[in-house]
Chain A
Amino acid sequence: MDSVSDGSAVRSSKDDDARGDESKKPRTGPITFYKQVVAELRKVVWPTQPQLVTYFIVVMVFVLVMMVLVSLLDLGFGQLVYEIFTTTGE
């Protein structure tokens, strides 16, 4: 019992930033949680515009190349299968 209270006291006195030890305390309310989420979101590093443009182009190139490749394969194999497996008599 003694050690538990001691541990939590040590932790909370050490750092104001480590609010993670709130799991021991009563649960975080939705409003506090929302505020904390917003606070964390402010620290997020968002991509810059040139980065966004390069990624956009690269992704589009990749997707288009794969799309063309898969479509051509499907057309080719589909035609082939149709030639082989359909009966000409009908």
Chain B
Amino acid sequence: MLGAFANAFRTPDLRRKLLFVLGVVVIFRLGSQIPSPGVHVDNVQTCLNRIEDQGLYTLINLFSGGALLQLSIFALGIMPYITASIILQLLVVVIPRLELLKKEGQSGQAKITQYTRYLTLALAVLQATGIVALARSRQLLQDCDQPLLHDENSTATFLVMVITMTAGTAVIMWLGELITDRGIGNGMSILIFCQVVATFPASLWAVRQSQGWGTFAIVMAIGLALVAAVIFIEQAQRRIPVQYARRMVGRKMFGGSSTYIPLKVNQAGIIPVIFASSLLYLPAMAAQFNATSDSAWVRWINEHFVQGDHPLYMAVYFSLIIFFTYFYVSITFNPKEIADNMKKYGGFIPGIRAGKPTEDYLSYVLSRITLPGALYLGLISLVPLIAFALIGANQNFPFGGTSILIMVGVALDTVKQIESQLQQRNYEGFLR
């Protein structure tokens, strides 16, 4: 096992990629600690220590990896980028012009990516303005009456902070794309993995402190069981057999082999969970920006959407996950394309004709197998919420299932990519 890790670092190009990812992670964490200009670090630290025990801000803190409340230059984290890419992927289905662009291939895809970046910046400006406005009016950290900024009334400070945070978001977006291009795995998921991992030990420890060792042990046991369950389902495949016809080209024989198309039970991976939770994170955020106003909708959101244990919240979360699972599978897996490719290379599913019937069969199996996959994603995200609510630990552990799904999912993906790179060089991998 450890030999495989050593091999990973012995392979030159793999080593370069791994070190590249680690370097990006170091920069990402550094930026999450450096305060924006104008922030009164003394007071922020005092206030943060004070609210740490209450566990009130964990929802927002989890998704920013602790950077948001420190008002650092990377305060917004990867979230604006994720939100922007969800919005664009949804819009591609709705707006015909974008759909045309997508069908155009490489150049159209590049254009859509460009739109995603612009939208990210727009969202970043919005969120940064909200956060800085909150910090200015001392609403960001409640129960804390010390000024968070050196000069609360200066417009210049306000502008500089908003510009800095927006620029920080642009840098994070760039870092994420760099990981995707030159490192291992998907940059967006690796960065959100880091954000989750950064707050995870602290929130576990908070459970220990507020509930004692007994509850801590139960929480750990549930967590480990969940990890095993997630791995079990992520590895489950429905294998559709494919036969390749033998044919002579010149004097050589080609084909005649039989393989299979692996359809995972959870073909969508963890993306639906990230999408659903980042969408649900928006109302909580909006409510926080308007915390001062006593209007009805703010109270309604605070009541239903900020604590993770409200039935309405769970229901919405669950249905969003199911929707996004089907949605994401439908945009990433194209039965028509696969059927066409199989036809081109003389492959067929035994008992089913090439072309349209194959396409129909693939989408038939896919839509049937995705239902348990979607239910599994929804349940895993909800079970901890319910379990922790029962033992009264939910305050410190919102998104328990989500963070486990994100951690295990990204870990599996990344390890598998390292594995396949190792196998290219004939090393024995981790997974045998």
Give A residues with C-beta under 8 Å from B. Answer: 11, 14-15, 17-23, 33, 36-37, 39-41, 43-47, 51-52, 54-63, 66-67, 69-71, 73-74, 77-78, 80-82, 85-87, 90
Contacts and interface: CB of A to CB of B under 8 A. Distances in A.
A77 to B, nearest CB: 4
Given A45-B239, A52-B232, A18 B364 contact: yes
A67 B200 CA distance: 8
Contacts of A36: 368
A37 B371 contact: yes
Interface stretch (B164-172, B269-277, B384-392, B406-414): B406-414
Contacts of B30: 73, 77
Contact of B236 (A21, A23, A45): A45
Given A36-B368, A73-B29, A81-B33, A52 B238 contact: no
A21 B360 contact: yes
Contacts of B193: 66
Interface stretch (B128-136, B245-253, B311-319, B350-358): B350-358
Interface in B306-349: none
Given A15-B351, A41-B372, 17 more contacts: A15-B352, A15-B353, A20-B359, A20-B360, A23-B360, A37-B368, A39-B368, A40-B238, A47-B236, A52-B228, A55-B231, A59-B227, A66-B193, A69-B25, A73-B25, A77-B30, A81-B35
A57 B1 contact: yes
Contacts of B358: 18
B29 A18 contact: no
B234 to A, nearest CB: 8
B33 A54 contact: no
Contacts of B45: 82, 86
B352 A59 contact: no
Contacts of B424: none
A46 B236 contact: yes
Closest 5 CB pairs of A and B: A20-B360, A20-B364, A47-B235, A77-B33, A73-B29
A67 B232 contact: no
B43 to A, nearest CB: 10
A37 B368 CA distance: 5
B365 interface: yes
A33 to B, nearest CB: 8
Contacts of B66: 74
Interface string B1-43: 1000000000000000000001001100110111100000110
Nearest to A66: B197
Nearest to A57: B1
B201 interface: yes
Contacts of A59: 227, 231, 408, 411-412, 415
B287 interface: no
B237 interface: yes
Nearest to A54: B431
Nearest to A42: B238
A7 to B, nearest CB: 9
16 contacts: A20-B359, A44-B236, A44-B369, A55-B431, A56-B228, A57-B1, A58-B1, A58-B431, A59-B415, A66-B411, A70-B197, A74-B66, A81-B34, A81-B35, A86-B42, A90-B42
Contact of A74 (B22, B33, B232, B352): B33
B198 interface: yes
A81 to B, nearest CB: 5
Contacts of A33: 368, 371
Contacts of B201: 67, 71
Interface in B407-432: 407-408, 411-412, 414-415, 430-432
A18 B352 contact: yes
A62 to B, nearest CB: 4
A43 B197 CA distance: 36
A86 B238 contact: no
B363 interface: yes
A11 to B, nearest CB: 6
A77 B372 CA distance: 43
B222 to A, nearest CB: 15
A42 B42 CA distance: 60
